[in-house]
């Protein structure tokens, strides 16, 4: 047992050594502490202190200072040196073992140190070590420059300001770590600090701790002084007023100084500096809206609410009062951004706290004037930072591949040195007894045949050291730096004046080998804009005119506060009215049909000269700090034909032919205008309506309705007000600005009484959920005699269609389906609209059942859904909408070309499944013929592992990925074996009576009908896997499902991961990167993408609206996603081909030199002597042969940029590693050895046969060795030129400059007289240049040496050209030929013939009717062809573009439903008149919740004015 124990200890030590990282020496990984209790206005308990009075480390919280930089002044030198030694470490793979050999730089250092000893000295030791110092110095300068940029970014963010509580007797007792300083970070301790003593104050208890307020800053704000403040330059309105710092106030505080337990006040459009618990908000219901796209990529706003027990803490005075003391008991810091278990303890009462009461760092406050909160977590303990990784040290793949090659050369060097040492020792032992004169006195302790063998070994290491040239690393660093400059100065990758920036210079060749791209969605593929593009109304499609953008919106934004022009003039332009008909009798001008009410610019926007408006958005976690909302151009929907139809509808008679379509138009836009939860605010100056929506889809829908004349004016309590062309005719009686002012400034109720607006009473909201896929509202139309009840619905096409009235509107349904297919094929997000009129008695009975369901204690959600479903039937179809989630320019084309290049693209987003699929369609990631496999994690469906197994079994039965999987219940029965032979459609339609997780794929009843097209799962478009974050969390926790998921994903054309956290994004990248060793690239634009960017081999950041953290953490920064194509296909291809060829040629030319030296050892008794004069060897890599290899790295082009862009398939050569590898290395090494033999033996035997001197004297060593130098230099340079594809002027210069220099050097060096300094070659010119052997040997040896390579290249180009050779020739012969669309050319090039993908190959093998890829049916034009299979439920459907983004079960919706329930409860036993809802004034009604407070986003003028309102 002892040996086993010893072995396990050895293995344990080895594992520790193998897992060692240089970063661990300098980065202090702080484990999340235990559960914390935050004390507010209370002293810390005694058990929080140690015996010395210092606070225990477990209760010292992380500073809010976030640092992404790697080095400090103190740690830079040791850490950078260690990283360089590690970076150039060799990786040797032994079976199942990786051995790190950090011997390359150590070898150079050892050789340099060896020559400091006189016995081994060749030239000045300082000159010997100079190249090593140059390599280390250049690399260190580059690393320092990159880190300085990180420091600057960190400084900007950490010095952002926020309002924090100060003054009075308030003090924060919670203890924080010391902030790190740049020059001492990593050295000082950061814990063990003690709190100061607590002093009693006359009015109560005063706590004086280390986190108490520092010296007040100049900017101070008091709650009792109304100022126009949304940015800190406006803090002090009265400069003559002396700030009373003794009073509680809000003061400026840097983000890095924010402490746990601090009170902070966040204003609208400001970012959160930490994770904050909400105490109170500006809204009457204490609701706040927050934008989380920087965390999860979702564009819809999330609602949050304050802790009920803390809502009284609304001012600085109340927060600072010692009577308002409480404790916050929190979980330990966690990476889960959707879960929090905490509680507020006030006295003896405890109140629960969950995530909807917390604002996380990285989010931005929206549509809320202010929020007061308490800081819970700071810095490294915040959710977003914990989901981010540390700054990694990345090495390129070429660098890693070069390590085995260097190891081979080192091994060769060792063998050569051993051979010289052993043979020299053997020869000396043989010749010493014979009194050989050259061994005289070779019998001393330091000089004898035995010891001389070791000395010769050491000399051999020095002689042949150039076999691993240190100049190679200097050359690589220089070339990569120039390649980074080429990328920066590429004018084709400049956006808004910002060029593409290479932040990591050592990864340029990795850009040419990418196999997988992992992309974020929001801000990376999309522009965060929802634009209403098309609609289908009553079977008629309206495509919309070209996008109308209010180009003056930016200018108007700056002038909106001074704009005192007339309010909207729309109603007064409607013309004369026939009041008896209630319709317009005069034609409405087309331009006037568009509503003047539009989404106005945020009133908090500051002028451009506001210095705070220019703060960079560089949150390290990272939203912008206090910064203005970017003002976007307003997009309006306009369709001339629709406008004409509306004009005709307004003037149509009830009995005319167009009356039916008029009703459809009115109903369609009424649903758009009223079926939503949009909030409104009326600008008091301009009279414009501002729409504030949680959902960007709803904002686009309501805005489009307003553009067409159906303007939702807002809510007053539970009454909704709508201005329509059909009802707003009364405004025609009013003229001039008076009428306009009345509409703009009078109350909505007054406008409705004047007949300007329609009124609807909101009775019920049947909210949208992912399961329901629809939203409905129940309304009562007021101001009419009958007071009819309406159900207005919008949702997914299949959900709405199955709820239509049976047997009616069949033709309309079919037409609308076709329109939806057209919308979906264009990647648009679709919604279907319908309505019904509800009989009064039916609603009364239903309302009673609905109320009982809402108050049910058990299974409330299911009961509400069931009752809701009872009402949502017999609907009448109105039409459908199509919204574009605006893509970045060129995204579909870029993705299509990257797929042609053989790169697989995965999308990782925080958005929901439908949104992710819609983006997949619009970006070409999912084609019209693609089949979607959906795997989702839920408690009601099939387990995640079984979903993966069934997906593999049904769609890839012959792929073999299940052969190694232990899948009980899947392969155990003959039934399953038989099912393998069935088609996927038959498997899908098969049913099982049991719910066994191992049962075959089956159709389950989910309340959602599926529309199944033909040949589902058999379409030739391949498969796209869609998986949500919950399923990923399950799959990645265990090796078995993780490996199977990876195998399944490899068989798919693409993968879309939805609802994933930032940490899961990084895990997805590592799954592919580590699982199959593929080269990965991650691209994103927000802080939630940082982990993914850092985990990938290459990280690309986009300078978007979500801040610059993605850019700061990236290796390359681009302005648009479309630049990725050129970055990879052109710069990546060039860099990889250039660097790979340069390195191979570098090894080759050194082997030529070392080979000549080695062959000489045969004739010098293996004494390790030089055949060359030493200076020739010294300058070999400095002057003679350095220029051609550098020119390859800088100027060589295997294909021009437009060819690479036109033919993306050429990227395959880099992806498959054709330019660099062990095979290519072996070929070049063989060439070098062969050519060195030709050079040495031909010249040596030429000079040794007959003397070249006229006097027939024997030639000296320097005569023929100098000829060998010339021949070797000419051969190496011409060989490098032969391997260059594009000969430019620079290449010509580089190839011949070395040969010229060796001529000039030899001519001058050989005439230096001994009076200057002694050389062994003085006078050699006389014999060298006058010898016929010299002039004869040079051309013969050079030609013979280059002949094999020349013949090989000529043969391959003429008889076996590759695609690049062919395209180069085609372009040379016909420069104007369209390479991208030449079918004849593409059919003849092997790499341009699309290889069958893994998914298609698997499907082909499994179906005998498809013999080969060429026999696959051509893609069908049926837009319903692509199938979608939910493996959780077994439902198959066809995607028609449905998508709708909104918060589900949010705080705001719960408040609405609560108030509705309260209203129903109070009116259940009352006889309700149809108009009874119009005059209700109860504060708790629904209308009170949905309408914005009157002071929402208004300009504050004075306290008196506020009180008047």
Residues belonging to the binding site for ATP are: 520-522, 698, 768, 794, 829, 909-911, 1059, 1065, 1088-1089
Name the residue among 1124, 1066, 1064 with its Cα closest to residue 1093: 1066
Binding-site residue set = 520-522, 698, 768, 794, 829, 909-911, 1059, 1065, 1085, 1088-1089
Calculate the alpha carbon distances from 693 to 623, 1127, 1357 in Å: 21, 38, 64
Q: Is 302 helix (H, G, I), strand (E, B) or coil?
A: strand
Q: What residues have CB less than 8 Å from 30, skipping those under 6 apart?
A: 62, 380
Instruction: Report the half-sphere exposure of 808 (CA within 13 A, side-chain side).
Output: 10
Cα dihedral 70→75→79→81 (10° resolution): 120
Query: How far is Cα 949 from Cα 741, in angstroms, rounded to an integer?
Result: 67
> Which residue among 154, 509, 510, 520 is the active-site one?
520
Query: How far is Cα 1427 from Cα 1015, in angstroms, rounded to an integer?
Result: 8
Burial 491-504 (b: 16+ CB within 10 A, else e): eebbbeeebbbbbb
Q: In what order do the strands lie in the sheet with 774-781?
A: 540-542, 526-537, 876-887, 829-838, 789-795, 774-781, 758-766, 719-723, 711-716
* First-to-final CA distance of the chain: 87
Name the residue among 755, 758, 545, 532 with its Cα closest to residue 644: 545
DSSP at 1317? -
Chain centroid, CA 969 distance in Å: 40
Question: For the packed helices 449-463 and 104-114, what is the interaxial angle rounded to 10 degrees?
Answer: 120
**Is 858 a known active-site residue?**
no
Calculate the alpha carbon distances from 1138 to 483, 512, 1288, 1291 in Å: 10, 10, 15, 13
Binding-site residue set for Mg(2+) = 520, 522, 1085, 1089
Name the residue among 827, 892, 906 with its Cα closest to residue 1083: 906
Burial of 70 (0-12, 13-18, 19+ CB in 10 A): buried
Q: Is the dihedral of CA 1408, 1411, 1417, 1419 positive or negative?
A: positive
Across 786-871, where does the E strand assignment appear?
789-795, 829-838
Name the residue among 273, 250, 275, 304 with its Cα closest to residue 375: 275
Chain centroid, CA 56 distance in Å: 39
Q: Tally Cβ neighbours within 10 Å of residue 1348.
A: 14
Name the residue among 357, 410, 383, 385 with its Cα closest to residue 106: 410
Calculate the alpha carbon distances from 1421 to 128, 184, 917, 1020, 1182 in Å: 71, 67, 20, 13, 64
Contact, 220 vs 243, CB < 8 A? yes
**Phi/psi of residue 1299, nearest 5 degrees:** -65, -40
Q: Is 193 helix (H, G, I), strand (E, B) or coil?
A: coil
- Region label for 582, one of left (φ > 0), alpha (ψ between -120 and 50) or beta (otherwise): left
Paired tokens of 230: 């949304």
Instruction: Report the half-sphere exposure of 838 (CA within 13 A, side-chain side).
Output: 26
> Is the preceding peptide bond at 622 cis, omega within 30 degrees of 0?
yes
Hunting for tokens 């008991």 — which residue is that? Answer: 329
- Region label for 658, one of left (φ > 0), alpha (ψ between -120 and 50) or beta (otherwise): alpha
Q: Is 267 helix (H, G, I), strand (E, B) or coil?
A: strand
Residue positions annotated with a catalytic role:
520
């Amino acid at each position: 047992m002892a040996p086993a124990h010893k072995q396990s200890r050895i293995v344990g030590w080895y594992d520790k050594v193998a897992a060692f990282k240089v970063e661990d020496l300098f980065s202090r990984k702080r484990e999340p502490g235990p559960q914390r209790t935050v004390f507010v206005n209370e002293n810390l308990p005694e058990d929080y202190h140690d015996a010395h009075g210092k606070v225990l480390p477990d209760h010292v919280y992380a500073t809010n200072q976030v640092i992404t930089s790697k080095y400090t002044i103190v740690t830079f030198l040791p850490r950078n040196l260690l990283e360089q030694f590690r970076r150039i470490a060799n990786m040797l793979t032994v079976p199942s073992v990786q051995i790190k050999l950090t011997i390359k730089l150590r070898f150079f250092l050892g050789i340099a140190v060896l020559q400091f000893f006189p016995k081994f000295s060749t030239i000045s030791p300082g000159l010997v070590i100079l190249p090593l110092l140059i390599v280390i110095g250049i690399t260190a300068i580059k690393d320092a420059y990159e880190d300085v940029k990180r420091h600057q970014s960190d400084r900007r963010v950490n010095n952002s300001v926020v309002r924090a509580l100060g003054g009075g007797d308030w003090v924060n007792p919670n203890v924080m770590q010391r902030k790190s300083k740049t020059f001492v970070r990593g050295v000082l301790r950061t814990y063990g600090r003690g709190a100061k003593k607590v002093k009693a104050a006359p009015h109560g208890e005063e706590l004086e701790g280390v986190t108490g307020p520092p010296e007040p800053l100049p900017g101070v704000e008091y709650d009792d002084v109304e100022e126009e403040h949304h940015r800190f330059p406006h803090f002090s309105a009265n400069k003559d007023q002396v700030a009373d710092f003794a009073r509680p106030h809000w003061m400026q505080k840097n983000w890095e100084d924010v402490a746990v337990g601090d009170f902070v006040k966040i204003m609208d459009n400001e970012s959160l500096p930490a994770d904050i618990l909400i105490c109170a908000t500006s809204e009457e219901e204490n609701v706040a809206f927050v934008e989380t796209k920087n965390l999860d990529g979702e564009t819809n706003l999330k609602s949050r609410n304050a802790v009920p027990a803390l809502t009284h803490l609304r001012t600085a005075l109340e927060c600072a009062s010692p009577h308002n003391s409480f404790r916050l008991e929190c979980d330990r810091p966690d990476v889960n951004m959707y879960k929090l278990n905490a509680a507020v303890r006030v006295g003896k009462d405890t109140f629960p706290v969950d995530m909807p009461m917390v604002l996380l760092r990285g989010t931005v406050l929206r549509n809320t004037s202010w929020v007061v909160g308490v800081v819970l977590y700071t810095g490294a303990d915040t959710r977003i930072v914990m989901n981010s990784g540390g700054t990694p040290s990345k090495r390129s793949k070429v660098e890693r591949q070069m390590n085995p090659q260097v190891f081979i050369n080192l091994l060769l060097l060792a063998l050569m040195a051993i051979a010289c040492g052993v043979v020299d020792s053997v020869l000396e032992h043989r010749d010493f007894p014979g009194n050989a004169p050259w061994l005289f006195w070779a019998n001393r302790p330091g000089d004898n045949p035995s010891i001389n063998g070791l000395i010769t070994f050491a000399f051999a290491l020095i002689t042949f050291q150039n076999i691993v040239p240190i100049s190679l690393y200097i050359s690589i660093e220089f070339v990569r730096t120039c390649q980074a400059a080429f990328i920066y100065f590429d004018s084709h990758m400049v956006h808004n004046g910002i060029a593409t920036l290479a932040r990591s210079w050592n990864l340029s060749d990795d850009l040419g080998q990418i196999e997988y791209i992992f992309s974020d969605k929001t801000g990376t593929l999309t522009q965060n804009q929802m634009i209403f593009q098309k609609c289908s109304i009553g079977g008629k499609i309206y495509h919309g005119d070209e996008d109308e953008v209010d180009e003056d919106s930016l200018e108007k934004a700056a002038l909106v506060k001074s704009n005192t022009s007339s309010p909207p003039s729309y109603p007064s332009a409607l013309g004369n009215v026939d009041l008896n008909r209630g319709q317009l009798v005069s034609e409405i001008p087309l331009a006037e049909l568009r509503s003047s009410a539009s989404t106005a610019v945020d009133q908090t926007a500051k002028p451009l000269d506001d210095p705070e408006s220019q703060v960079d958005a560089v949150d390290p976690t990272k939203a912008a700090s206090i910064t203005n909302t970017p003002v976007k151009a307003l997009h309006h929907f306009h369709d001339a034909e629709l406008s004409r139809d509306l004009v005709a509808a307004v003037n149509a008679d009830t009995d005319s032919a167009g009356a039916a379509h008029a009703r459809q138009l009115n109903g369609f836009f009424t649903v758009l205008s009223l079926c939503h939860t949009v909030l409104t605010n009326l600008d008091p100056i301009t009279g414009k309506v501002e729409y504030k929506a949680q959902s960007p889809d709803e904002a686009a829908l309501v805005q489009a309705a307003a553009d067409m004349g159906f303007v939702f004016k807002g809510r007053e309590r539970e009454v909704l007000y709508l201005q329509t062309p059909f009802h707003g005719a009364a405004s025609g009686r009013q003229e001039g600005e008076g009428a306009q002012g009345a509409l703009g400034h009078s109350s909505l109720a007054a406008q409705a009484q004047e007949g300007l607006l329609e009124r609807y009473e909101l009775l019920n909201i049947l909210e949208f959920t992912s399961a329901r896929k629809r939203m409905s509202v129940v309304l009562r139309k007021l101001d009419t005699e009958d007071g009819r009840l309406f159900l207005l619905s919008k949702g997914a096409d299949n959900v709405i269609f199955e709820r239509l009235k049976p047997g009616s509107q069949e033709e309309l349904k079919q037409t609308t389906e076709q329109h939806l297919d057209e919308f979906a094929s264009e990647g648009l997000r679709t919604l279907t609209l319908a309505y019904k009129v509800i009989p009064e008695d039916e609603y009364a009975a239903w309302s009673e059942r609905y109320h009982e369901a809402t108050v049910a204690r058990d299974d409330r959600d299911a009961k509400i859904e069931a009752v809701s479903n009872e009402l949502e039937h017999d609907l009448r179809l109105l039409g459908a909408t199509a919204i574009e989630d605006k893509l970045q320019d060129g995204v579909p084309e870029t993705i299509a070309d990257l797929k042609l290049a053989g790169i697989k693209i995965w999308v990782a987003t925080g958005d929901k499944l439908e949104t992710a699929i819609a983006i997949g369609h619009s970006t070409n990631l999912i084609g019209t013929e693609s089949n979607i496999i959906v795997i989702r994690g839920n408690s009601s469906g099939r387990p995640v592992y079984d979903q993966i197994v069934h997906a593999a079994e049904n769609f890839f039965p012959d792929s073999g990925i299940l052969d190694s999987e232990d899948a009980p219940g899947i392969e155990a029965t003959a039934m399953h074996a038989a099912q393998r032979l069935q088609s996927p459609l038959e498997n899908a339609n098969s049913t099982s009576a049991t719910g066994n997780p191992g049962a075959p794929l089956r159709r389950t009843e989910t309340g959602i009908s599926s529309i199944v097209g033909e040949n589902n799962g058999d379409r030739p478009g391949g498969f796209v896997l869609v998986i949500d974050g919950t399923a990923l969390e399950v799959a990645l926790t265990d090796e078995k499902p993780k490996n199977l998921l990876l195998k399944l994903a490899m068989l798919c054309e693409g993968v879309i991961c939805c609802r994933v956290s930032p940490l899961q994004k990084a895990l997805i990248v590592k799954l592919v990167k580590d699982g199959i060793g593929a080269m990965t690239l991650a691209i994103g634009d927000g802080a939630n993408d940082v982990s993914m960017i850092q985990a990938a081999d290459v990280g690309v950041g986009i300078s978007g609206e979500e801040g610059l953290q993605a850019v700061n953490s990236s290796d390359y920064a681009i302005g648009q996603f479309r630049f990725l194509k050129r970055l990879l296909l052109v710069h990546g291809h060039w860099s990889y081909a250039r660097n790979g060829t340069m390195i191979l040629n570098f090894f080759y030319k050194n082997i030529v030199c070392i080979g000549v030296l080695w062959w000489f050892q045969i004739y010098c008794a293996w004494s390790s002597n030089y055949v060359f004069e030493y200076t020739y060897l010294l300058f070999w890599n400095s002057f003679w042969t350095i220029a051609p290899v550098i020119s390859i790295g800088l100027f060589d082009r295997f294909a021009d940029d437009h060819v690479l862009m036109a033919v993306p398939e050429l990227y395959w050569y880099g992806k498959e590693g054709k330019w660099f590898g062990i095979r290519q290395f072996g070929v070049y090494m063989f060439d070098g050895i062969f050519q060195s033999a030709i050079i040495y033996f031909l010249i040596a035997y030429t000079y040794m046969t007959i003397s070249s001197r006229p006097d027939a004297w024997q030639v000296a060593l320097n005569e023929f060795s100098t000829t060998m130098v010339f021949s070797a230099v000419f051969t190496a340079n011409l060989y490098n030129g032969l391997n260059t594809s594009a000969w430019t002027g620079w290449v010509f210069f580089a190839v011949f400059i070395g040969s010229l220099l060796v001529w000039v050097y030899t001519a001058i060096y050989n005439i230096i007289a001994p009076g200057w300094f002694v050389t062994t070659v003085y006078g050699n010119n006389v014999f060298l240049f006058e010898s016929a052997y010299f002039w004869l040997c040079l051309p013969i040896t050079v030609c013979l040496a280059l002949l094999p390579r020349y013949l090989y290249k000529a043969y391959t180009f003429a008889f076996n050209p590759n695609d690049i050779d062919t395209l180069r020739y085609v372009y040379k012969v016909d420069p104007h030929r369209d390479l991208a669309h030449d079918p004849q050319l593409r059919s003849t090039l092997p790499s341009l013939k699309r290889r069958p993908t893994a998914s298609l190959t698997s499907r082909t093998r499994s179906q005998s009717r498809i013999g080969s890829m060429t026999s696959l049916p051509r893609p069908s034009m049926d837009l319903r062809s692509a199938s979608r299979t939910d493996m959780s439920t077994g439902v198959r459907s066809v995607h028609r573009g449905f998508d709708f983004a909104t918060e589900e079960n949010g705080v705001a919706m719960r408040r609405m439903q609560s108030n509705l329930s309260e209203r129903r409860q109070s009116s259940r036993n009352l006889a309700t008149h149809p108009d009874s809802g119009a005059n209700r004034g109860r504060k708790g009604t629904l209308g009170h919740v949905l309408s914005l407070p009157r002071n929402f986003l208004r300009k504050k003028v004075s306290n008196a004015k506020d009180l008047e309102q």
